């Protein structure tokens, strides 16, 4: 069993599909195949589609069950749509059982992937901007008093030099 993610780099808060391919390389048809996939915490089930067999999801134990009465040579598919509210790394370990002997049942299909944080795709805040001119109050010393003060300081510095 092989797994891929579509898109390859899922983003938190957006649904994405985990695509599983169950391979029967023969020579016999596999009978009574049951695949259980435990969804890890942080992944929420949205839906699932299969091209062969039936699929069900138990929300109480977070278990997806894919039942195939018979699997001839070929590759049946499971498309599992999930969403992760936050970014993180996840590992899914399907458990495959079959009524037909197969020496290669366990472990198989272990699938690890990462969900990227949503960055700026969080809460949207609608903000408004306004422009308003705020009048200034008249502050400080008038210019004429400043000029008079400068002249007084200058004359105080010059007068002692003239008397000598």
Q: Which residues contact 51 (CB under 8 A, 6 or more apart)?
A: 76, 77
158 within a domain of the structure (yes/no): no
Q: Which residues contact 41 (CB under 8 A, 6 or more apart)?
A: 62
| pLDDT at 61 exceeding the cut of 50 | yes
Which residues span the domain enclosing 66?
2-115
Q: Cα separation of 115 and 10, whole Å? A: 5
Q: Cα separation of 114 and 89, whole Å? A: 4
130 within a domain of the structure (yes/no): no
- Is-contact 52 76, C-beta < 8 A? yes
163 within a domain of the structure (yes/no): no
Find the range with the poorest average confidence among 41-50, 58-67, 137-146, 153-162. Answer: 137-146
Q: What is residue 98's predicted lDDT score, i.e. its pLDDT?
A: 83
152 within a domain of the structure (yes/no): no
Find the range with the poorest average confidence among 27-36, 51-60, 126-135. Answer: 126-135
CATH number at residue 28: 2.60.40.1170
65 within a domain of the structure (yes/no): yes
Q: What is residue 38's predicted lDDT score, i.e. its pLDDT?
A: 94
Q: What is residue 124's predicted lDDT score, i.e. its pLDDT?
A: 44
Q: What is residue 63's predicted lDDT score, i.e. its pLDDT?
A: 95
67 within a domain of the structure (yes/no): yes
Q: What is residue 141's predicted lDDT score, i.e. its pLDDT?
A: 61
Q: Band the pLDDT of 9: cuts 50, 70, 90.
A: confident
Select the more confidently predicted residue: 132 or 94: 94
**Would you say the pTM of this structure is higher than 0.85?**
no
Q: How large a percentage of the chain has pLDDT more than 90?
A: 20
Cβ-based burial of 108 (10 A; exposed 0-12, middle 13-18, buried ≥19)? middle
Q: Cα separation of 131 and 154, whole Å? A: 46
| Number of compact structural domains in the chain | 1
| pLDDT at 84 exceeding the cut of 70 | yes
77 within a domain of the structure (yes/no): yes
105 within a domain of the structure (yes/no): yes
């Amino acid at each position: 069993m092989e797994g891929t993610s579509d898109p390859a780099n899922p983003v938190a808060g957006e649904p994405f599909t985990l695509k599983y391919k169950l391979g029967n390389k023969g020579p016999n048809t596999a009978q009574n195949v049951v695949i259980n996939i435990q969804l890890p915490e942080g992944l929420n089930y949205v839906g699932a589609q299969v091209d062969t067999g039936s699929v069900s999801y138990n929300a109480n134990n977070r278990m997806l069950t894919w039942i195939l009465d018979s699997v001839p040579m070929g590759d049946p598919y499971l498309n599992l749509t999930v969403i992760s509210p936050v970014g993180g790394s996840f590992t899914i370990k399907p458990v495959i059982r079959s009524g037909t002997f197969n020496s290669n049942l366990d472990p198989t299909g272990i699938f690890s992937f990462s969900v990227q944080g949503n960055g700026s795709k969080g809460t949207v805040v609608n903000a408004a901007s306004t422009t308003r001119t705020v009048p200034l109050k008249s502050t400080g010393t008038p210019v004429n008093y400043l000029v008079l003060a400068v002249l007084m300081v200058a004359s105080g510095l010059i007068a002692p030099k003239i008397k000598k």
